[in-house]
Amino acid sequence: MQLSLKTRFTVFIIGSALLLSLVMGIITIRDMHTQIEVAISEKAKSDLATAQEIADYMHPGSWHVVAGELYKGSARINDDTELVDRIGRLTDDTVTIFLNNTRVSTNIMRDGSRATGTIAADYVSETVLTGGKIYIGEAEVVGVKYQTGYAPIKDDSDHIIGMFYIGVSKKLADQLKQSFIAVAILSARIALLFALAATCFIPVDTWGTVSSARAGPINSQTINHKKAPRS
């Protein structure tokens, strides 16, 4: 069965709208994903700097090791909860202070207790402890993925003796992504509705004109002319 011109044109309009919506949705979601990852990374950097300033404010003095334990000024950091808990409340992040690659103070909980005594991932230790660089990126912390920031802790002799860690939960990024995807789907539906509505408002005369143009010029021989009366 051959479809009418109007039906074919309607299908063309709807198909074009769907294709355009799909392409725009893919581009939007990809761009959104990149922007969220950048935003979360920037938050990790900012919170890491904030955490270090809070540590300097609460415990003035240098970082150093005494009898195998980490100190900041005169404050013993091993098993201290006040510093990491305050930073965690202000930033809504997970916070850990390492002596070398071992957690000695943290607000990360595991099995109902603080995850002190656990070890940092090897690739983090290599970047921060061995390379002396700040690590910003996704890392698995006690079995949970975070967007993290690790900075080396140095003593007065500029020796790296530990790490300062901040972790932004990936749940926040996932929630933002789901929100953007929902917006993209809603936009696609609205575009489709507009395409459907557009086909309903095309005047009937327009379809007749298009149909006539498709049929081609009328043959003059098919027109019946009245014969002139004889004189």
What is the pLDDT averaged over residues 166-171? 81
> What confidence category does residue 133 fall into, taking pLDDT thresholds of 50, 70 and 90?
very high
Query: Is residue 150 within 8 Å of 135, Cβ to Cβ?
Result: yes
Q: How far is CA 218 from the centre of its chain?
A: 62
Query: Is residue 125 within 8 Å of 101, Cβ to Cβ?
Result: yes
Q: Is the pLDDT of residue 123 over 80?
A: yes
How many Å apart are CA 199 and CA 123, to the nearest integer? Answer: 58
How many Å apart are CA 208 and CA 103, to the nearest integer? Answer: 79
More confident position, 92 or 36: 92
Query: Is residue 184 within 8 Å of 28, Cβ to Cβ?
Result: yes
How many Å apart are CA 81 and CA 151, to the nearest integer? Answer: 19
> What confidence category does residue 175 fall into, taking pLDDT thresholds of 50, 70 and 90?
low
The CATH architecture annotation of domain 49-171 reads 2-Layer Sandwich (3.30)
More confident position, 67 or 15: 67
pLDDT tens per residue, range 134-144:
999 887 777 77
For residue 219, count other CB atoms closer than 10 A to its CB: 7
Whose CA is closest to 79, among 66, 88, 70? Answer: 70
Predicted TM-score (pTM) above 0.75: no
Q: What pLDDT was estimated at residue 8?
A: 65
Bridge partners for 151 per DSSP: 164
Whose CA is closest to 191, among 5, 22, 2? Answer: 22
Question: Would you give the end-to-end CA distance of the chain in angstroms?
Answer: 54
What is the pLDDT averaged over residues 149-160? 96
More confident position, 31 or 154: 154
Q: Is the pLDDT of residue 101 over 70?
A: yes
Bridge partners for 97 per DSSP: 105, 164
